[in-house]
Copies of this chain bind each other. A is one copy, B any other.
Amino acid sequence: MSSPPAATTLDVATVRKEFALLTGERDGHPVTYLDSAASSQRPARVLDAMRSYEETTHANVHRGVYRVAEEATRRFEAARVAAGRFVGAPVPDREVVFTKNATEGINLVAHTWGKRNLGRGDAVVLTEMEHHANVVPWLMLAEERGLELRWIPVDDDGLLVLDDLDRLVDGAKLVGVTAMSNVLGTLNPLAEISAVAHAAGAVVVADGAQSVPHVPTDVTALGCDFLAFSAHKMLGPTGIGVLWGREELLADLPPFLGGGEMILDVRKDGFTPNDIPWRFEAGTPPIVEAIGLHAAVDYLDELGMAAVRAHEIDLTAYALGVLSDRFGDELTIHGPADAVRRGGVISFTHRDIHPHDLSQVLDQYGVCIRAGHHCAKPLMRRLGVTATARASFGPYNDHADVDRLADALAEAARFFA
């Protein structure tokens, strides 16, 4: 493609220039955005690509024969291929389903693969660190169909306990596992888990919402059967996500939602579903959002995912060091101690200050962190907390951001002392 060769290190100062919110200030404080795990910012080039599409090329896709519509369709389908290539999809034009977000992707698997293959008494294995997006769809299906849910436990270092994996997946039909925890940062050994799951005859639904934006991803190496992720966490827009699925599996699935685009024919007494991937895309898809996602993955490719990852390891290691040096026992940091075993997400709790209050005070200093259960209530119960504070990084964050976080934490401690 047209991208220059990927850099090996990130020039954060240059990267940052493309993010308007981060170069601004609020009430005299620079904006220290440390909530990219919830949603990233988007660079000017992504916004420009979307605007340019709107101004020169917009029409509905897969419908018109006039050139504007044809061009819109081609750019939309090119975005599909680009999104697929970004995660190493072997057949990107057929294996990438555009959804509205990662959550819908997992629900799509539950509604199609799940409804076809899961019945009373069948077991689904999840981990205790799953985001609600990879829990609630299975709880709903379990309630409807009488499934058994089993849980891979999390140890005190925030790692999955895999000693018993053989037994846990024995007889199971599906394993749902996040590639990276949005609370602990933990990077899970997907390839190992997939191998065990496949040996037991189970399919693997991987939640890539956190990993795909931050870690080089190759679905073949991960070994999973489905992978869901969201554009808005990877420098792309809201309103679009991706479900990647192995071609043989997708090809066999019934449709999900019904409407235009997903059919070949409709009669009063029935319909003929379309080929994959359109079979799963009912109605007008997120077109300009696909254009934005395409620009985002091109940008990430240009930065180089290896460089993005190296940068985040550096930043995470730095943050772990600064926080424990400056706050010692006052702060409990959840998740693996080694930055290499985790992505750029750090959850912590303060001995005396509730995360909600912490976040409120930090905000007065322009520091944006998340406080709450992070849509991972089963994990919160496992950790014995109702909420944590969480700082998370994007390719635009640097050491100065971490220092401002630590300074603001010190102010909060002073205020609540």
State whether A31 touches B101 (Cβ < 8 A): no
Assess the A136–B356 pair: CB atoms within 8 A. Answer: no
Say yes or no: A370 contacts B64, CB within 8 Å. yes
Asked if A378 and B266 sit within 8 Å, CB to CB, the answer is yes
Chain B residues within an 8 Å CB radius of A68? 21, 26, 31, 33, 368
CB A9 to nearest CB in B, in angstroms, measures: 27
Is A267 an interface residue, CB under 8 A from the partner?
yes
Do B259 and A106 touch across chains, with their CB atoms under 8 A apart? Answer: yes
Measured between beta carbons, the chain B residues less than 8 angstroms from A268 are 149, 151, 378
Cβ of A107 within 8 Å of any chain B Cβ, yes or no, is yes
Q: How far is the CA of A350 from the CA of B136 in the complex (A)?
A: 53
Contact B103 A257 (CB under 8 A): yes
Given A51-B51, A363-B67, A377-B267 in contact, is the A258-B140 Cβ separation under 8 Å?
A: yes
A270 is an interface residue with CB less than 8 A from chain B: yes
Copies in the complex: 2
**Is there a chain B Cβ closer than 8 Å to A143's Cβ?**
yes
Bound complex: CA of A369 vs CA of B63, how far in Å?
10
Q: Are B237 and A288 in contact (CB under 8 A)?
A: yes
Q: Please, how many angstroms separate the alpha-carbon atoms of A359 and B372 in the complex?
A: 55
A102 to B258, CA, bound (A): 11
Knowing A67-B26, A131-B260, the reply to whether A286 touches B136 (Cβ < 8 A) is: no
Known: A66-B369, A139-B266, A370-B64. A39 touches B58 (CB 8 A): yes
CB-CB under 8 A for A132 and B65, given A54-B20, A137-B259, A286-B100:
no
